[in-house]
Chains A and B, each alone.
Chain A
Amino acid sequence: MSLAQVAYNLSTDADFAAKWDKNPQAALAGKGLKLTKEEFNALVTGLNQENRFESLSKLVLAATSWR
């Protein structure tokens, strides 16, 4: 649930996203959220990939080639 909550905050709360860009751990602490190391690393990779896939429809399309 934490991973989902952080993904939601990063996508809908510009203030939180800006704080995350400066200091992710402080941003999490400010919201009272915690991520495991593995969740944190996955989210960082997810953020990089989100920029490269650009949209959910492109991700859906790309997923067909992973089969």
Chain B
Amino acid sequence: MDISSEFSELMWLALSKEKQSSAISGNEPEMALLPGLCCQAAGGDASWADIVTAAWMLFYAAADIMDNIEDKDVPVSWWGDSGPATALSVATGLYFSATSVLYQMERKEVTKKIAPVVIQDFFNCFMIMSSGQYDDLRIPQPTIEQYWKIASAKSGAFFALACRSGARLVLGDGPHCKLYGQFGNQIGLLLQILDDLDEISFKNQLVTPATVEKLTRSLPVVYTMQMVPDETKERLKVCLQNAFHESSAAKEALAIMEESGAMLYLLSEIERNKKLALDSLTRAEATSPAGEILTSYVEKLGALP
């Protein structure tokens, strides 16, 4: 029995369309380069990481679909009509495709020795991400500490996997391999902060109760809700409820966050994570030109306009 052509087409459509709704949309070209660049920076050839990259991107697409459904996000166009059940079946197909691709490492001369370690690392990472997603669902208003724990388990772990896997093809399990993982973790956290800044642009055209719930789990809101007095907290909640359809409410919400120091906190966290990422690259003795490309990717985050 063959895979139905309709299902294959839907998986392809998901791969091409999913990125448009992605929480980290706009970063795909750089994202797809991360394993290869880390492999090259560690002294290998970028092409050695082709299989890792393909598997990682497939896993990413699958996880993104699951994330959208679990967060009750507005459906992406390709599954908007058919519903989340269809999207789940496609995500399942993508997971198994990714796994199948990953096992091709065992057939390639340059990767077959390290393949079992990389494959196990992928599965461990997805267990960590699933656990992070569970926490994200069960904690509607996280503390700042819980926010970082969840972000690290989700976005941080996923990008750490990309960078660590690319470097591991050259370095095996040495200490420098861990440094690439740390670099990836900081990249994941930085991208999460950017996503959260995007949340408070209040630009969603379709707003559901879940849109506001997601907003309350963004870093500027998490910070403000933890720091301000109860009265201000209640006012912010009201503003956030109305921010998507009343520009005055959006302005007031931003003003409350700004006056509480959210902007200073976010800029400081961006700077702290950038520094940690760059320190990891330096300690890993990343070689150029890949090392320079990775450095410039970090430096552009948080740069003044």
Contact = CB atoms under 8 A, between A and B. Distances in A.
Asked if A and B bind, the verdict is yes
Interface of A: 1, 3-5, 7-12, 38-39, 41-43, 45-47, 49-50, 52-53, 55-57, 59-67
Interface residues of B, number: 40
Nearest to B302: A66
A50 to B, nearest CB: 5
B267 A38 contact: no
B26 interface: yes
Given A4-B144, A8-B227, A55-B258, A60 B201 contact: yes
A49 B305 contact: no
Contact of A67 (B194, B261, B267, B270): B194
Given A3-B268, A46-B268, A67-B26, A60 B200 contact: yes
| Most A CB within 10 A of own CB, among B144, B257, B267, B270 | B267
A50 B257 CA distance: 13
A4 B265 contact: yes
A12 B256 CA distance: 11
14 contacts: A8-B260, A11-B259, A11-B264, A38-B272, A41-B271, A45-B267, A46-B265, A49-B271, A49-B304, A53-B267, A55-B263, A56-B258, A56-B262, A60-B197
A66 B303 CA distance: 8
A54 B243 CA distance: 21
A21 to B, nearest CB: 14
Nearest to A3: B268
Interface in B233-282: 254, 257-272, 275-276
A26 to B, nearest CB: 20
- Closest 6 A/B residue pairs (Cβ): A11-B261, A46-B268, A67-B26, A42-B272, A46-B267, A7-B265
A7 B264 contact: yes
B27 interface: yes
Contact of A11 (B260, B272, B300): B260
Contact of B254 (A38, A49, A56): A56
Interface string B220-234: 100100110000000
Contact of B261 (A12, A53, A66): A12
B12 to A, nearest CB: 24
B272 A39 contact: yes
A49 to B, nearest CB: 5
Given A12-B259, A55-B258, A66-B301, 4 more contacts: A38-B272, A45-B271, A46-B267, A56-B220
| Most B CB within 10 A of own CB, among A5, A50, A62 | A50
